[in-house]
């Protein structure tokens, strides 16, 4: 006969809660859908029709998570912006080859499914997809009893875009004398939070509810500011045929990411006086983080970079600014035949 108390729910998995979550997020996801989406949520797979007008289409994929920034969301019980972060970290990588984002999928895992909290996260993911101009095509919610700490969860995201093979960007297109344009970040984005938490909360002894000198909001609000999504800025820049490379300033900061879009023998010189640095970075520096560690960990106010021909720089800056982002000319590509990867990026004019 079996034991009637030995059920999936008694072991910690609530299928009814998962079903309720799916029903709640169906209208949220549908707002991100385009005519190319030919399946709704709840099936085994998401279906998306390719745009046949793209010449020699190449699919571009990216996956990422949010990292220890999640710890702040748990401590403050604020979860919407984390969903935006998840989309941003994946989509911004896909943009770097000149791709247009098509669709996004998420993986949400927790020990005990809190439907209200999960709905907040997925609503943020849907908002991120709307900012990116892509569809929230589907995802997976996993309830894993005993695997995660109580009231915590983990996230992973998966973005797919498309670019014409003839329009793909690569390091091979960058030339000496090219201009480097920087697009503003909103703060730390989703990188370096292990160091930021150690420097600000442990070393400095600050609370997430404090408002340190120089900030106009609490430290928690500042650190949870969502990552910028640069899809509109990238598409605006690509209207000009003189774009040679895009770079997402993610984990590794300016000095570790820029070499990824530079051919051998070339480096860049950046002038930090050319852009306003958000005050959170001064706060981190004052907490004792060394200058070289600041450079290789944080974006320092530049979340995305465009490398272009010199005569196109002003036009591209204007096009990006029209999307609501802020862009500046911040440096140039130079010859650097012998330098190691980290020495290929020289940043002058830092405030510390």
Residues 142-160: tens digit of each pLDDT: 999 989 999 999 999 999 9
Q: Compute the distance between CA of residue 345 and CA of residue 352 in angstroms, rounded to an integer.
A: 17
What does the block give as tokens for 234? Answer: 């990238």
Q: Give the contacts of 257 (CB within 8 A, at least 6 positions apart).
A: 247, 248, 249, 250
pLDDT score for 89: 98
Counting Cβ atoms within 10 Å, is residue 160 exposed (0-12), middle (13-18) or buried (19+)? buried
pLDDT score for 18: 76
Q: Compute the distance between CA of residue 67 and CA of residue 88 in angstroms, rounded to an integer.
A: 13
pLDDT score for 342: 67
What does the block give as tokens for 352? Answer: 């510390």
pLDDT score for 273: 97
Q: Compute the distance between CA of residue 254 and CA of residue 81 in angstroms, rounded to an integer.
A: 24
Domains identified in the chain and CATH numbers: 15-167 (3.30.1330.10), 171-348 (3.90.650.10)
**Cα–Cα nearest to 229, from 34, 38, 32, 46:** 32
Q: Tell me: the pLDDT tens digits for 53-83?
A: 899 999 999 999 999 999 999 999 999 999 9
User: Which strands sit side by side in the sheet containing 179-184, from one edge to the other?
Assistant: 243-248, 302-308, 179-184, 327-335, 266-271, 345-348
Q: Compute the distance between CA of residue 304 and CA of residue 306 in angstroms, rounded to an integer.
A: 7
φ, ψ for residue 53 (rounded to 5)? Answer: -80, -10
Site of tokens 């745009």: 51
Q: What is the pTM of this model?
A: 0.94
Q: Tell me: the pLDDT tens digits for 109-138?
A: 999 999 999 999 999 999 999 999 999 999
């Amino acid at each position: 006969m079996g034991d009637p108390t030995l059920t999936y729910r008694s072991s910690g998995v609530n299928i009814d809660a998962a079903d309720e979550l799916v029903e709640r997020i169906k209208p949220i996801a549908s707002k991100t859908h385009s005519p190319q989406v030919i399946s709704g949520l709840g099936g085994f797979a998401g279906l998306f029709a390719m745009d046949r007008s793209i010449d020699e289409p190449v699919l571009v994929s990216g996956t990422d998570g949010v990292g220890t920034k999640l710890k702040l969301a748990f401590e403050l019980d604020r979860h919407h912006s984390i969903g935006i972060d998840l989309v941003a970290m994946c989509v911004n990588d896909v943009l770097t080859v000149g791709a247009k984002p098509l669709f996004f999928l998420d993986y949400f895992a927790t020990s005990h499914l809190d439907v209200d909290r999960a709905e907040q996260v997925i609503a943020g993911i849907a908002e991120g997809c709307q900012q990116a101009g892509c569809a929230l095509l589907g995802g997976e919610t996993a309830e894993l009893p005993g695997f995660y700490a109580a009231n915590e969860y983990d996230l992973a995201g998966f973005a797919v875009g498309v670019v014409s093979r003839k329009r793909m960007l690569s390091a091979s297109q960058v030339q000496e004398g090219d201009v480097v344009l920087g697009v503003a970040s909103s703060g730390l984005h989703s990188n370096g939070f292990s160091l930021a938490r150690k420097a600000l909360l442990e070393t400095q002894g600050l609370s997430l509810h404090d408002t340190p000198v120089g900030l106009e909001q609490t430290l928690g609000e500042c650190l949870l500011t969502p990552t910028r999504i640069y899809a509109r800025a990238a598409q605006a820049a690509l209207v000009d045929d003189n774009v040679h490379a895009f770079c997402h300033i993610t984990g590794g900061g300016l000095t570790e990411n820029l070499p990824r879009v530079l051919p051998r023998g070339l480096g860049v010189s950046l002038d930090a006086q050319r852009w306003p640095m958000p005050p959170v970075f001064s706060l981190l520096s004052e907490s004792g983080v060394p200058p070289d560690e600041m450079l290789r960990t944080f974006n320092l106010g530049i979340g995305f970079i465009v490398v272009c021909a010199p005569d196109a720089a002003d036009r591209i800056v204007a096009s990006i600014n029209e999307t609501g982002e802020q862009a500046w000319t911040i440096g140039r590509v130079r010859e650097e035949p012998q330098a190691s990867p980290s020495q290929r990026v020289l940043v002058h004019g830092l405030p510390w």
